[in-house]
Structure 1
């Protein structure tokens, strides 16, 4: 499977809207805007027969498939129903897709994160569709008094070819729903797939493009209030005193409430609360460490030199390997804090009612955990709390946290009214949850023949937890290996950012492997293949990655890109394993006006069975744009505990004209699906940096690359 895409405005908009879950305000482009847009629940009408948690069929033949996981642009709301519809043998033109609300009795793992939704639900979804198909066939067989084994299903109909009989799913729905649910059903052979693996348009394309109310920012309940919180402007500070009189006196303001180091301004509209919040007069005082980026530079040095590190993996005799080495290669790589910066700011609706129940609604990657947190906070049983999921205008790990959900619930309880809490973009940039800053120190020992005999990695992170993935390549391919992690605890809040840790670690590892290969006098692609061959033939310790799958993407990427065969273009290579998938990339760089410019990126992905070919292409393309853009441009710096970047005017993101051509390929190995929402991002930074080195001779070891002298006038 192959696709080529240029960096046209149309393609960029397609990527940013459908891959990253772009935020569009709730209005109808083809009609008058709704005064109070609302997220509609189940619009199904007519007589419906429910077959299981995932699907129902109406008497008119319409199949409604419920997608339980949050949709943030990873295309899950299209891919999940495709799997069900495939096994159901449904007519896709008659399929409606609805977002299921949180229901832990009907569904499990109702979350979006870790690129695990499809791998986890693959067999569950197939069984759901196949079970309903078996029940429809049984109902038709009973109706016609023929053996069920003589009947087949096809495109929304049950057929008995020998008797020339045919019945639509709508005719059979009510009878079929009363058939005993079979415990064992036969799933389709992969060669018989008609929907899975094809290009299916996102089921919400029209709604997105016409501005239908779908996102949390669109959500409305009659009588609800709006709120914004003033949070401390710097990490490590707390409220000392506050004068809220002017804000309270503003028109449209119903309450000003202080809770948990925040001051909430509540009113009848966002306009009212934005104006009133500016009138708050708050004095803050120190509450713990107050750190600046200059402090972090010193902290990293201390951690790498003197920090008490945790040994994550140790194989062989590392000291002896370095003592006897013919050559030792050393390097350090560093990444900054970066923001998640989803287009849709954090927001959530909560109504803590007088009857002891709670209604929650909004965008969350972890709705079950959010509900659990609200239950614990308010001491209200979970079964009395409902949570409706809206589409997420981006997440990238930020919405794995639920601080904004508990804020809304606590505030609703305090003001005894339904309220929607909204963060501004500045709120999110200054007080959100960031990708942690990390610095890595690498050392490699080579013998006289250029063989890698020793490998050391120490990762130092600021609120990063384990900074390494100690069992990833090249672990298992090196006789003597030591991987350690050490951490500094900071008041700066951090959290998962798309492809946690590996989003930067892959760049550092893959760049360093290039350095080692060149020091050994070997082609960088061949060097990786030699290491994998050694891991296969003489493994050292545990091997937690699939060697053959990694070899396949490496070879295919080299072949598709014409590795080493092109003139007047510098090529850089990278390969990585994350979230159970394998992606190899080749970046091509040319010199323009004396500066390196990324011209094209080839990507070969092994994610097992591709569900939706166009969705898979967009996931890979989006991951590459995300990985390249953030490695090249993004950073957050701190001064006296506060972010120096407040909004997009001084927080640099990739621009349309900077998106390179992207060519995607997929390995078809017949395996069940593995993750795809994140795996294409980690290898990108390494491929780009290695290509820039080839073009300029300058090794980039610190992100963002744009800060390097190479790119300055």
Structure 2
């Protein structure tokens, strides 16, 4: 998948209020739109060709992001990305308001509907919302500011160089005159927009919002007072409610159905069969039987009363224990070579010592606190959906396709998301609601997934076995490095039985491993998919980082070295690496010239996390320190952990220090919150979270068995260290996902330091009590 480098490119401004584009929309007297890149050629799988401005070739500008100023001075910013707790509405507004010179209390944010032609790419994933749109958002704010200045200068008949906009007014210092933005909005709307080359951006020393603490979330009041609308809150007059009984095995079908008892349940009005799709199923519902009722409880009781015989299909053979054995067998044999440097066999043969280890990471479920939910209504040939979706334009396209409607007849209204983590990028649940509404002659139907539905029928983070072998010289340094990674791929959603991971998955900490080792071979054996494998926060960086960073600590122990010092030695001296030289053509969708791998930055986060936790300090028996670092989504994160292991394996984490270098920082409070959340989530996947399968069925149905970190077991202290990002002309990195990968290996390494027990299988669970 190829994404644009918005930091270098971006579109031109357009005065859409003059063109009448938003007539009647009530956005304001002055409305500016920013042209955005849009894919005009097919995407390759990992190969990007970039022009001189950093933009991928084959992209063209296509509007729009809106900023509007009303005659009462209200500034309305349209957010084209989805808010799911990461603060994107606030951060996007901060950037525009900064360059506009707006007062924060006069800024409001509205959510864009799903419409790629109007708003550009709207997928909220890949930690790219700000890194792609930071500079374009600055330009649209600055362009509006300059138009307001020109309008004031014209009214006063003074040179525009004598006026200055800021703090929601334009001031003529020589005469002491001032005009508010609302007073100037109408006149400014009649002016031509500045050419991109003439737009004056603020110097970062003048920033009032960007990089500053204490801004607060624009949604905070509504969220804390219960007024915020999430997908599960959507309501429409006369609506019905639905739940679905789905095949317990991916690819299964209804063999027989007796709906009589379900229809006797008070409130149940209809039972609807949803046909199972062929595999690969992409984002389509898995099929099953929907129960539509006058309330959700009646629908759930009706579902319980259904008598269904399932035809399980070929994936009934899927059991985690035997599948793991198959992955282990695969990584013990040569696989598809994806990176090869030097002469591995010769180096291994000449090594003084050989170390090998295998690591297992199970399927994971995203488990957003708000399960998938959507409301759909079809009237007069038009479909409206209200949904907690990360990908509204994909949702719109798939709804139109499944319901047999033209895409322009479908509107997707995006609610707040009660968490996403990649699960809500897939619109299968919205399609289910659409099919139910269609079956009810277009009446509104709100469809809800229960937690059991979410855990049993989701798109899971991939299961993985990672095998590493290293040959060490007489100084304990690796002269040879072999890594085989076997995992079912997300590509299985889109293509029949692909078996090998995609370049984007291999580029997540595997082929782009930046260690200074002379002989390296990386292989990707085959692995078939038996469930829906999908995006999970940080995706394949999780298994790759867990294996590599755990193995580094094992090598340090074998060499009799300090793990932190050994990790820094492997990273090597500060240098800049073109990721394509390592076989990573994807590079998280970014131009490798603007976003090379900088080992100096990776070293600094490791050193910062170590200093934060006071690495090397004496600890009592049963306590230990662990460390790990990782590069992902063009950011650098390191985690240092202190653990305590008591009698019987009692386990706790007194302290975590996490250091992040994501380049220039827009909203430090959100960066800190993302890192804290990553530590808590990483603690859960390291210690207790696992989805396993038996006879094709998920064995964990709710939080009693799929255990998340609760407050009693959470790390007691999390300290976030945000490294200075430098000049704001530098490209930004990602924040939402990079904090997660180093957490689990740091915990595992700390456990070894405390107990001498090596954790090679996640989650830890009861491994400390045996």
Does 2:655 match 1:600?
yes
My pick for the range that moved more, 247-256 or 130-139, is 247-256
Contact 1:315 1:541 (8 Å CA) reproduced = no
1:508 aligns with 2:523: no
What's 2:741 paired with?
A: 682
TM superposition shift of 1:529: 2.3
1:700 is matched with which residue? 759
Give the corresponding residue for 1:377: 402
- Paired residue for 1:215, among 230, 240, 260? 230
Tell me the equivalent position of 2:329: 302
CA shift for structure 1 position 300: 1.7
| Equivalent residue number for residue 409 of structure 1 | 434
Q: TM-score, normalised by structure 1?
A: 0.90
Asked if the contact 1:582/1:607 (under 8 Å) is kept, the reply is yes
What are the Cα deviations for residues 672-705 of structure 1, in whole angstroms up to 9, with x where unaligned?
3210001111111111111111111111111111
Look up the match of 1:387.
412
* Distance (Å, rounded) in 2 between the aligned partners of 1:383 and 1:338: 36
> Mean Cα displacement is larger for which, 375-384 or 261-270?
375-384
2:480/2:517 contact within 8 Å kept: yes
TM-score by structure 2 length? 0.83
Alignment CA distance shift 1:423-1:603 (3 Å): same
2:493 paired with 1:493: no
1:518 maps to which residue? 557
- Contact persistence 1:442–1:456 (CA under 8 A): yes
In structure 2, relative to structure 1, the CA distance for the partners of 1:279 and 1:473 (3 Å cut) is: same
- Residue 662, structure 1, aligned to residue 718, structure 2: yes
- Is 1:563 the equivalent of 2:578? no
Q: How does 1:71-150 map to 2 (within 5 A)?
A: 71-150=83-162
- 1:143-182 equivalent positions in 2, closer than 5 A: 143-182=155-194
Alignment of 1:190-269 (within 5 A): 190-199=204-213, 200-260=215-275, 261-269=287-295
1:477 partnered with 2:477: no
Does the aligned pair in 2 maintain the 1:589–1:596 contact within 8 Å?
Answer: yes
Separation (CA, whole Å) in 2 of partners of 1:248 and 1:482: 61
Question: How far has the Cα of 1:47 moved from its partner?
Answer: 6.1
Q: Report the alpha carbon displacement of residue 413 of structure 1 after superposing the two structures with TM.
A: 2.6
For 1:172 and 1:539, the matched residues in 2 are separated by 49
User: Structure 2: how far apart are the matches of 1:209 and 1:578?
Assistant: 33
Q: What is the match of residue 549 of structure 1?
A: 601
**Number of residue pairs matched by the alignment:** 668
For the residue of structure 1 that corresponds to 2:536, the secondary structure is coil
Render the CA deviation track for 1:342-387: whole Å, top value 9, x for unaligned. Answer: 1111111222333x32212211111111112222223422222111
Q: Aligned pair 1:673/2:727, yes or no?
A: no
Select the residue among 632, 636, 645 that pairs with 1:582: 636
Give the drift of 1:46: 9.4
The aligned counterpart of 1:38 is none
| TM-aligned CA distance change 1:235 to 1:106, over 3 Å | closer
Cα gap change, 1:507 to 1:471, in 2 (>3 Å):
closer
TM-fit CA distance, 1:605? 0.4
- In structure 2, the residue matched to 1:629 is 684
Matches of 2:422 and 2:525, distance apart in 1: 23
Q: CA deviation at 1:649?
A: 1.9
Cα displacement (A) at 1:79: 0.6
Cα distance, 1:539 vs structure 2: 9.7
Aligned to 1:18: none
What is the rounded CA distance, in whole Å, between the counterparts of 1:677 and 1:99 in structure 2? Answer: 20
Which secondary structure does the structure 2 equivalent of 1:146 belong to? coil
Alpha-carbon distance in structure 1 between the residues aligned to 2:464 and 2:326: 11
**Residues 635 and 151 from structure 1, CA distance in 2 versus in 1: closer, same or farther, beyond 3 angstroms?**
same
- CA distance in 2 between counterparts of 1:110 and 1:539 reads 29
**Contact 1:514 1:690 survives alignment (8 Å):** yes
Q: SS where residue 706 of structure 1 aligns?
A: coil
Please provide the CA RMSD for this pair. Answer: 2.2
CA apart distance, 1:271: 2.0
* In 1: Cα distance, 2:464 partner to 2:102 partner: 49
2:109 matched to 1:70?
Answer: no
> Which residue matches 1:50?
31
1:27-38 pair list within 5 angstroms: none
Residues 707/235 of structure 1: CA separation in 2 closer, same or farther (3 Å cut): farther
Secondary structure, in 3 states, of the residue corresponding to 2:366? coil
1:25 corresponds to: none
Distance 1:118 1:283, change over 3 A: same
Residue 353 (structure 2) pairs with residue 327 (structure 1): yes
How far 1:43 moved relative to its partner? Answer: 14
Tell me if the contact between 1:596 and 1:695 (Cα under 8 Å) persists in the aligned partners: no
Partner of 1:351: 377
Q: Distance in 2 between matches of 1:336 and 1:532?
A: 28
**Using the alignment, how far apart are the partners of 2:579 and 2:520 within structure 1?**
9
Contact 2:645 2:751 in 1 (8 A): no
Cα 1:220–1:343 change in 2 (3 A) is same
Please say if residues 476 and 535 of structure 1, whose CA atoms lie closer than 8 Å, have aligned partners that are also in contact.
Answer: no
3-state SS of paired residue (1:371): helix
C-alpha contact 1:135 1:176 (8 A) present in aligned 2: yes
When residues 473 and 105 of structure 1 are mapped into structure 2, their CA distance, relative to the original with a 3 A threshold, is: closer
Structure 1 segments unaligned to the other structure (5+ residues): 1-41
CA apart distance, 1:285: 2.1
**How much does 1:320 deviate?**
0.8
Native 8 Å contact 1:508 1:686 kept in 2: yes
Q: Say whether 1:289 aligns with 2:303.
A: no
- Cα deviation for residue 596 of structure 1 reads 4.4
2:460 is the alignment partner of 1:445: no
CA change 1:492–1:519 in 2 (3 A) is same
Mapping 1:306-317, distance limit 5 Å: 306=333, 309-317=335-343
Give 5+ residue unaligned stretches, structure 2.
Answer: 1-22, 34-64, 276-286, 491-499, 583-595
Closer/same/farther in 2, CA of residues 94 and 711 from structure 1, 3 Å limit:
farther
Moved more, 488-497 or 466-475: 466-475
